[in-house]
Amino acid sequence: MLILHAIVLGIVQGLTEFFPISSSGHLLLAPWLLGWHDFAGEASSLQKTFDVGLHIGTLVGAVAYLRHDVVRYIRAGVLAVVRRGAVKGTRAAHDGRMAWLLVLASVPAALTGAIFGGFIEDNLDDKIWLIAVMLIVGGLFLGWADRLHGSREIESFGTRDALLMGAGQALALQPGVSRSGVTMTVGRFVGFNREATARISFLMAILITAGAVLFKSKDVGSIPSDFYAPFLWGIVASAVTGWIAVWATLRIVSTYSFMPFVVYRIVVGVAVLLLLASSFR
């Protein structure tokens, strides 16, 4: 695997993991468009290992940006169990409840991934046309949701919201749907403002990504020495761009809207379908 390819894929993973445009879809589209076959033949067993590495990178990037929130919620979640005497309505009580609601929101996706993850990887991952369709459909739904009025702040996040956004997150196993895209869509539908929607989505991403890394690590094999450098550069690239993506998304949605992502999804989806209809591949 070329170091350049690893860096490009790391950048793609880092940006698209948190932009609501589907990281899994883009990681399949990029090699297809560029004609890369880094994991063909004997190297095919390394693809899942590389995927885990890129997810570790984006996890590091997101935690680095949201570190204050992460530390606060972990501390409050532990204290909510150890000390059950927090006064209702206090900041500590809210943070503790929020921490465990985020855990609850991760359950649907975790169960769906454990049950159907293998089937999707074996039967649907290589369907480029399906990725394109999901990009378009997901973009239309995100655009629809974004036009709705939403004024709820993150403090109002409740059990119903956790279950609905968690159920939406479970749909993102299909490449092209986008985990952040579907959770942001549901968040807007249930009335959260744009910034609260994005921040909740990112906090959910940290938990589900950490869980996915642990779950997939059992299938990770040894890395050949000639792959060390590409793997390292890919992880670094995904970490740096993951941090940038979280920062950029929060800036974009707090000052404008989700429409740039909506337009991008539709344009890319239509372009891929047109390429499929041509003699490109």
pLDDT: is 235 or 117 the higher one? Answer: 235
Task: Give CA angle at 249 (246, 251), nearest 5°.
Answer: 110
Q: Give pLDDT tens digits for 188-206.
A: 999 999 999 999 999 999 9
Contact criterion met (CB below 8 Å) for 148 and 188: yes
CA distances from 73 to 27, 94, 206, 207 (A): 31, 9, 12, 12
Question: H-type helices in the chain, by residue range?
Answer: 3-18, 23-34, 47-65, 67-82, 91-123, 128-146, 159-170, 179-189, 194-216, 228-255, 259-277
pLDDT at 171: 85
Q: What is the mean pLDDT of the chain?
A: 87
Q: Which residue has the tokens 């956790």?
A: 162
Contacts of 188 (CB under 8 A, 6+ apart): 142, 145, 146, 148, 150, 194, 197, 258
pLDDT tens per residue, range 57-116: 999 999 999 999 999 999 988 888 887 655 565 777 788 889 999 999 999 888 887 777
pLDDT of amino acid 120? 65
176: left (phi over 0), alpha (psi -120 to 50) or beta: left
Two structure tokens written together for 23: 């990281």
Q: What is the pLDDT of residues 141-182, one digit of tens each?
A: 999 999 988 889 998 999 999 999 999 988 888 889 999 999
The 10s digit of each residue's pLDDT in 239-250 is 999 999 999 999
Is 252:260 a contact under the CB 8 Å cutoff? Answer: yes
Instruction: Give tens-digit pLDDT for 2-14.
Output: 889 999 999 999 9
Report the alpha-carbon distance of residue 90 to residue 26 in Å, rounded. 42
